[in-house]
Every structure is written in C-alpha cells, then in structure tokens.
C-alpha cells in the first residue's frame, strides 16, 4: 500500500451541542495531530472565532435553540479563509445546501465515520496548502527581486546568512539591520521558508508607506465605521499571518502612538481591531528590518526603548553592496539571467563590468537590480554595454551633468543631487542630514526616482 501524504496539522473549531460528538470527534482529530477546540453553542463559537482564526470549522446546523445557519456568516466574516464543513442529520439536506450557498465548503451527514471525516480534512488541508502556496508566490512576485542576493563570497554576508539559517528554527523575533536595498526583505523571506512555519503565510507591512491610522488598520484590521472610509470589516495582516511570519519593514518609522500596541502584541500575542473591543489572539513570528539608527531614535524619543529590546532579540547585520565588492559582478550576471528571458543577451561588455565595479551603489542591491532590468529592456545587442547604464554610473562623454540653472525640470536636479549625496554618504541617516530632510522623506524620494 502506498504511504499516504502527510497532512499539515490544522487548527479546528468543533461546534456541536452533543457532548458525545464533541468528545469522540475531538479525540479522533487530535489523534491525527490537529489542534482542536470544541464548544457546544453558537455564543461560545462566535466568541472563540472572534479571538483567533481557524483553518476549519465543523459546524452542527442544529445547536439547541440556535441554528448553525445564523452563525455561519459571523464565522466567515471573522476569517474569510476559514473552511466551514456543516454537520447535518437526516432530513436536513436542504439546510446543508443553503449553508453551502452561504459559504460552507462541504457537509457530512450524521452518523459519520472517521474515514468520512478524514476525507473532508484531506480536501481542506490540500486547499489550504494551495492557498498558502499561491499567497507565497504572490508575495514573491510582488517583491519582484531574484533570490540571487543571497549568493555571496563576502564573509560579512555569509555570516548573516548562516546566522539567519540558525535562527530560522526558533520563533524568536529577529531584527535585520542594514542600509536600504541591501536585501533585508529577501533575507526575511528566507528565514520564513527555512523555518517550521514555511507552510503558513508570510506577509509584509511597510511602516513608512501609510499614515498612522491606515497603518494601524493594516496591521490589526478594523470594523466598519471605525474611521472615515471604513465601509466594511477588515481583517489585518496579523490575522492573515496567523501561524506564519509577519515582516515589519522599516520598523524605525513606526508611529509612536502605534508602538505600544505592537509591543503588547509581541509580549502577549493579543490585539484588537481598530474600533473593536474584542481581544483576539494570533500565533505570529515577527521579523523586523530597519535602515535607521534605533539607538538615536530612542534618544530622540521617536522610538520606545522597551519595544527596541523586544524586537532586537536576535540582530542580523546585512552589509551594503560596497562592503561586498566581489559580489557586484556575480549578482549583476545572475540578475541578467533572471530578466533576459529568452532574449539573446549573453553578458556585459568589459567596459560595463568595470563601470559597475567602480560605482559606489548607494542604493545597494535594489539599485543594481533596477539598473540591470533597465539595461535588459533597452538592450538591442548580445551584450549590455556601458551606454545602457544610467548616467549616474557612467557620465556620457560630451554631455554636461545636470547643474543649477540648467533648463531642465526641477525633479531632474533633485534626483541628481540626491544621487550624488547618497554616493558620498556613509548611511541613509548621514545622507538625510546632509539633505536636511528626514529619513522617511528620503526613503520616499528614493522610491520615486528608483535610486
């Protein structure tokens, strides 16, 4: 007989008013390795579903004086991805069909056998595995960065990767420190996929990209009417990441009024949605990243010291690209292979390679990626030449650099100035100070100009 495919343990809520059903079905499910919570009425079921998310709910349609039909929309509103399997007695098939029209994924009739339950669970487990795989692929495509940046000959980068592999097996909070564009997000994904949570979601929240209100909603979720524009209930990234990993990018830009709520979640794994009083729980591994000097932010009262010690359990320092110069050409070649597809581009000219080696790469690996992608789009030959590299890397002979007073758009002068300052700065904080802007503004301008 072939060995059955192992099923990832599911978090199951069992809702049935018959104690014998709860006991026997619960024992059977736990024996198969699943985490089971059994309740006997609709009120307890709604309360538990409001506090945490479940992969699967077995829902009896007759709950004493209550109906599982009335409970079903509430369960799906709290966790839209939850699979609900209704349990029905003989003569209530019509109700089961109605339940499926309301969002239930399957039904089984009483009396049922362990094999029938196991078949249902296998289908649900397979569906959840596909959903997580799709979510992971969508996250990877959204990041749109080849994994090549984890290939390195640099001792500093190799140390960071080795430490990342070691800490992946734990649930400890990790803080990735390094300049913008060094690959902290890719390393965070690698830690997740090397961990025991790899079958669960990996989701990212970029702290500088939203206002304080929207960022809080993005993290924790909100209820309808909690603020202007909240037209419906919304689950947050924490609920989506339940069982998996949440990556907080640029945590140094987290607004002060949200920091206590994040601290509480790290300590207790409990939170409330915006505008709601129900306390919820989530099992989430936290990975944070920053290009800011958090110690200076603490001294300036922009970042809580207690939160700093909570997120900085394990610190990984990701080196800048200029600190790993021997990686520049191998990375550029791997990115060229990633972007060229079936086009006949075989490599770079010697002049282009020397130009890339000499450049300071203030935008690090992200800037290199953008340069290679742009060159591939513009290339009409079999090799990428220096003429396809941006002027910041290789100023054109006979063309003057953008300067004050030139009849060019102001944005061109701003971009050129930011590039020059970054190229001669030790860090983003140093560059922001020279430009007399804050780090968050510099971060947005770098995104605008693809620096």
Pairing of strands 106-109, 56-60: unpaired
Name the token pair of 70.
Answer: 């009335």
Is 6 domain-assigned? no
pLDDT of residue 1: 35
* Statement: residue 394 has pLDDT above 80: no
What are the residues whose beta carbons fall under 8 Å from the beta carbon of 11, sequence distance 6 or more?
Answer: 34, 35, 52, 53, 54, 55, 56, 243
336 vs 51, higher pLDDT: 336
CATH number of the domain to which 46 belongs: 3.40.50.2300
- 155 and 304 fall within a common domain: yes
DSSP 3-state of 221: strand
Residue 145 lies in a domain: no
pLDDT of residue 4: 43
pLDDT tens-digit series, residues 245-280? 999 999 999 999 999 999 999 999 999 999 988 899
**Highest mean pLDDT, choosing among 54-63, 108-117, 168-177, 422-431:** 168-177
Mean pLDDT, the chain, integer: 85
Same-domain pairing of 348 and 445? no
Looking at the structure, tell me whether residues 436 and 353 fall in a common domain.
Answer: no
The proportion of the chain whose per-residue pLDDT surpasses 90, expressed as a percent, equals 41
Kindly state whether residues 338 and 229 are assigned to the same domain: no
Whether 59 is covered by a domain: the verdict is yes
Mean pLDDT of 228-251: 88
In terms of domains, do 259 and 156 share one?
yes
**What pLDDT was estimated at residue 133?**
63
Cα of first residue to Cα of last residue in the chain, in angstroms, is: 58
User: Is residue 2 domain-resident?
Assistant: no
Q: What is the pLDDT of residues 398-410, one digit of tens each?
A: 344 555 566 667 8
Residues 314, 177 share a domain? yes
Quote the domain boundaries for residue 448.
400-451
Global confidence as pTM: 0.68
Q: Do 169 and 310 sit in the same domain of this protein?
A: yes
Q: How far apart are CA 282 and CA 172, in angstroms?
A: 15
Is the pLDDT reported for residue 426 higher than 50? yes
Among the candidates 290, 319, 348, a domain finishes at 319
Domain count, the chain: 4
Looking at the predicted structure, is the pLDDT value of residue 5 above 50? no
144, pLDDT greater than 60: no
The enclosing domain of 275 has a CATH number of 3.40.50.300
Q: Is 35 helix (H, G, I), strand (E, B) or coil?
A: strand
In a domain, 140, yes or no: no
Same domain as 232, residue 369? no
- The answer on 75 and 52 residing in a single domain is yes
CATH number for the domain harbouring residue 342: 1.10.8.60
- Does residue 427 form part of some domain? yes
Domain boundary pick from 372, 392, 412: 392
**Residue 146 in this model has a pLDDT that exceeds 60:** no
Single residue among 80, 106, 134 that ends a domain in this structure: 134
pLDDT surpasses 80 at 174: yes
Cite the DSSP H helix spans in 107-254: 114-143, 155-168, 184-194, 212-220, 237-240
Q: Domain check: are 57 and 201 in the same one?
A: no
Could you tell me if residue 144 is inside a domain? no
Give CA–CA dist 422/419, Å, rounded: 5
Asked if residue 428 and residue 308 are part of one domain, the reply reads: no
Domain assignment present for residue 325? The answer is no
Task: Give Dmax over CA atoms of the chain in angstroms.
Answer: 87
Residues 77 and 187 in one domain: no
């Amino acid at each position: 007989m072939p060995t059955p495919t192992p099923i990832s343990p599911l978090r199951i809520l069992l809702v049935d008013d018959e104690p014998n059903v709860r006991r026997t079905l619960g024992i059977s499910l736990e024996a198969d390795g699943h985490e089971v919570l059994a309740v006997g009425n609709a009120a307890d079921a709604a309360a538990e579903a409001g506090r945490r998310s479940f992969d699967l709910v077995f829902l009896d349609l007759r709950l004493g004086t209550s109906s599982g039909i009335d409970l079903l929309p509430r369960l799906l509103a709290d966790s839209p991805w939850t699979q609900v399997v209704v349990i029905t007695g003989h003569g209530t098939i019509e109700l089961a069909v109605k339940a499926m029209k309301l969002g239930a994924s399957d039904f089984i009739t009483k009396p049922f056998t362990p094999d029938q339950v196991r078949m249902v669970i296998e289908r649900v487990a397979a569906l959840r595995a596909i959903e997580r795989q799709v979510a992971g692929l969508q996250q990877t495509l959204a990041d749109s960065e080849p994994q090549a940046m984890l290939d390195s000959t640099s001792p500093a980068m190799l140390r960071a990767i080795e430490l990342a592999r070691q800490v992946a097996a734990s649930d400890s909070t990790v803080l990735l420190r390094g300049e913008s564009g060094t690959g902290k997000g890719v390393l965070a994904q690698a830690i997740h996929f090397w961990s025991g949570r790899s079958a669960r979601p990996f989701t990212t929240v970029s702290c500088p990209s939203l206002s304080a209100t929207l960022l809080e909603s993005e993290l924790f979720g909100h209820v309808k009417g909690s603020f202007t524009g909240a037209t419906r209930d919304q689950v947050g990234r924490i609920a989506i990441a339940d069982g998996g990993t949440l990556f907080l990018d640029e945590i140094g830009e987290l607004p002060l009024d949200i920091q206590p709520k994040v601290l509480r979640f790290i300590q207790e794994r409990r939170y409330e949605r915006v505008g709601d009083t129900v306390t919820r729980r989530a099992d989430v591994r936290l990975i944070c990243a920053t290009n800011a000097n958090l110690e200076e932010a603490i001294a300036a009262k922009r970042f809580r010291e207690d939160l700093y010690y909570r997120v900085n359990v394990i610190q990984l320092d990701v080196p800048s690209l200029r600190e790993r110069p021997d990686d520049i050409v191998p990375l550029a070649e791997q990115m060229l292979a990633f972007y060229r597809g079936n086009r006949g581009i075989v490599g770079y000219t010697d002049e282009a390679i020397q130009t890339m080696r000499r450049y300071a790469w203030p935008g690090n690996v992200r800037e290199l990626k953008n340069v290679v992608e742009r060159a591939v789009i513009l290339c009409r030959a079999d090799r990428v030449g220096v003429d396809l590299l941006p002027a910041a890397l290789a100023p054109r002979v006979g063309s003057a650099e953008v300067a004050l007073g030139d009849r060019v758009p102001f944005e061109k002068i701003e971009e050129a100035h930011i590039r020059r300052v970054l190229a001669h700065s030790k860090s983003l904080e140093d560059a922001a100070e020279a430009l007399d802007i804050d780090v968050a503004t510099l971060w947005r301008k770098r995104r605008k100009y693809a620096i």
